[in-house]
Amino acid sequence: MRSRQRMFAAVMRLLLKCLRLGRRRRFKLVRQVEQLWHYGHLCLRSLLYNSFTNGDVVLDSLFEPVYWLVDHVTRWFGVVFVALVIGLTSSIVAIVYICLLPLILQTYTPGWICWHLAYGHWNLIMIVFHYYMAITTSPGHPPQAKNDLTGVSICRKCIAPKPARTHHCSICNRCVLKMDHHCPWLNNCVGHYNHRYFFSFCLFMTMGCIYCSISGWEMFRDAYAAIEKMKLLEKERLQVAANQTYYQTPPPTFSFRQRAFHKSVVYLWVLCSSVALALGALTLWHAVLITRGETSIERHINRKERQRLQKKGKVFRNPYSYGSWDNWKVFLGVDVPRHWLTRVLLPSPHLPHGTGLSWDLPPCVMEQSTPLLAI
């Protein structure tokens, strides 16, 4: 009996000793892991430490893959968007020539026929010309060498001189002179040399869509009523045909050509009205920016600068604004009164004022009435 007790006590002491030893080893392993973690954390912070790093920088770094994906998708889909613009515009022109023009020649008076032919073809020429020029004209890029450029900064992405009003386009991966934005519908940046073409295209496209919507309103109503009548007659025809034999089925009430005509008119009116609303709002927004002498990017920059100076009791003056009327003259390149006809109402490939590298007072602006800099 005593031998069993001694054996049991020895086993228990051995078990407790093993547990104590395992606990020490476990605590030692945990301490080693903690030391390795603190050492790795210290090394990482020493390699990545930057006194300028803040929450915005970290957030931008996290979203950098998203920006990269958006930039590359926009770059490749630009060709699709251009093809879509050409395809939709061509379909509208084809419907007008095939369906509406014969009807206009048969029913309208000679005066209205001349008006529609003159205005419609003038508007179409202006749309095609400005869209082609906006696509093919380079927006302008600063030279890679500094040369004689004064007062320029350095683009942190291009590592090249960056003149005033120049911004880097992440989609084109280049700096653009007087950059407004990158337009996927042009597959091109809107900058110093093609800004006028872009705005003129938007303006004349909006005018053309409004013209088609107003002129085709009565035709749209008749076509829509005819389509509803088609659906009703088709339903009645199917109900009658269900109770008769194949040879007694009545012929269709509307021919294929009539169906195609009515559906084309409805398609034309709906598409033109939708584009007129959407593109008209965009055109109005850019007209406001041009009146203020700003681009889309400068709009945000000037607003922040205006708020910053307002807190200091100062007034911000846009250094690139010469007054509402003079801003339009500079933008459109109107130097003399006849240019309103030759350069605005007719296709004109004239260049804008300046080179986009420096912004001297244009010759069409005679006198600056307000100070250019903040006071």
Active-site residue set: 183
Nearest to 169 by CA among 185, 154, 153, 158: 158
302 in helix, strand or coil?
A: helix
Buried b (16+ CB within 10 A) or exposed e, 152-169: beebeebebbbbbbbbbb
Q: Output the six-digit token pair for 9.
A: 């006590």
Distance separating alpha carbons of residues 172 and 324, to the nearest angstrom: 32
Distance separating alpha carbons of residues 77 and 192, to the nearest angstrom: 24
Which amino acid, residue 294? E
Nearest to 182 by CA among 196, 168, 202, 163: 168
Distance separating alpha carbons of residues 328 and 364, to the nearest angstrom: 10
- 8 A C-beta contact, residue 369 and residue 323: yes
Distance separating alpha carbons of residues 76 and 83, to the nearest angstrom: 12
Distance separating alpha carbons of residues 221 and 167, to the nearest angstrom: 48
- E strand or H helix at 198, and its extent? helix 195-215
Vertex 71 angle, CA 70 and 74, to 5°:
80
